[in-house]
Amino acid sequence: NFSRVTEFILLGLSDTKELQVLFFTFFFLAYAMVLLGNLLIIVTVRTDPKLSSPMYFLLCNLSFLDICCTSVTSPRMLVDLLSQTKAIAFEHCIAQLFFLHFVGASEMFLLTVMAYDRYTAICKPLHYTAIMSRQACWVLVSACWAGGFLHSIVQTLLTIQLPFCGPNTIDNYFCDVPPVIRLACTDIYVTEWLMASNSGLISLVCFLVLVTSYTFILATIRVRFTEGHWKALSTCASHVMVVTFFFVPCIFIYLRPFSTFPSDKHICVIYTVFSPVMNPLIYTLRNNEMKASMRKL
């Protein structure tokens, strides 16, 4: 009994021609860095037997998730920056929304697992091999993917059951839950709180678990500080940088009512582009073992 919207119009980051060319150059280079940097990490970890510890196994999975995360949004954004019409089909928009939350939530869970791995290595070194066995690592990584899928399917089902019959302009450069459900032709109060409870609480809880892990790590290092613990502290510092770039924008965007606040598309750039770019830089330039393995490769 209503005409369904068949496509959405993405407004992008800017409608100024000069800025669009500038953005295309910048984001193309950033996307290339994400692909090349993270692929280099994956190949290095897979080919060097010395990098067989659980930390590098988890890092390899993080690099793969970073490639997937930025590939969900960046190619479409690059095409739109050079095209006149920025229309995206309804089905493609929902697919982009699904895969973005699938990969994004999986990465949140994986970063939490990586923090647990560092906590176990530093605070319980004698039990580390038994706790973080190869089988345990595979179980934890599989649980991260399963949790991401469950989160994403809930977000997607809550979105597609809404009626879209009027406005079709999305003030963003990709399809995400907040800007999409604002266009629904119905009251979304209950839906947006369900979604905020889902996405926002996942981001907040994972972030709190991470902060707690690093608090215990810092307390342990302060009590018994050695040269090995200085190396561990350096590794954790780089991990904290990645976590801050990824989690803080997500908490800011998703842990609030979507219809009350304006679109924050410029903040979305931080966790869809900058965070995947930072990972290969931080985990290679601040890690002597990775740098040595890459030179050897």
The pLDDT tens digits for 223-257 are 665 555 566 666 667 677 778 888 888 888 888 77
CATH number at residue 199: 1.20.1070.10
Domain carrying residue 79 = 7-295
Please compute, for residue 242, the number of CA atoms within 13 A of its CA located in the half-sphere on the CB side. 28
Residue 150 has pLDDT above 90, yes or no: yes
Strands 169-170 and 7-10: parallel
Q: In this structure, are residues 10 and 92 in contact, taking their beta carbons and an 8 Å threshold?
A: no
Percent of the chain with pLDDT strictly greater than 70: 91
Strands 87-89 and 169-170: unpaired
Count of beta carbons in the 10 Å neighbourhood of residue 97 = 22
Distances (CA, A) of 294 to 196, 283, 287: 42, 12, 11
- The whole-angstrom separation of Cα 286 and Cα 269 is 24
- The whole-angstrom separation of Cα 43 and Cα 294 is 9
pTM exceeds 0.85: yes
For residue 191, what pLDDT is reported? 83
Residue 99 lies in a domain: yes
Classify 252 in phi/psi space as left (phi over 0), alpha (psi -120 to 50) or beta.
Answer: alpha
- The whole-angstrom separation of Cα 90 and Cα 98 is 12
- The whole-angstrom separation of Cα 56 and Cα 40 is 13
Residue 275 lies in a domain: yes
Tokens 């991401």: give the residue: 148
Residue 18 has pLDDT above 90, yes or no: no
Banded pLDDT at 1 (limits 50, 70, 90): very low
Residue 1 lies in a domain: no
Percent of the chain with pLDDT strictly greater than 90: 28
Residue 2 lies in a domain: no
Counted residue by residue, the chain has a size of 297
- pLDDT mean over 117-127: 86
The pLDDT tens digits for 70-118 are 999 999 999 988 887 788 999 999 999 999 999 999 999 999 998 899 8
Residue 120 lies in a domain: yes
The pLDDT tens digits for 158-201 are 898 888 887 888 888 899 888 888 888 888 888 888 888 888 88
Instruction: Provide the domain count of the chain.
Output: 1
Residue 53 lies in a domain: yes
H or E segment at 281?
Answer: helix 275-285
Three-class DSSP category at 175: coil
Exposure of 183 by Cβ count < 10 A (0-12 exposed, 13-18 middle, 19+ buried)?
Answer: middle
Tokens 């889902």: give the residue: 198
- The whole-angstrom separation of Cα 226 and Cα 25 is 45
The pLDDT tens digits for 78-88 are 998 888 778 89
Residue 82 lies in a domain: yes
Sheet strands side by side (includes 87-89): 87-89, 7-10, 169-170
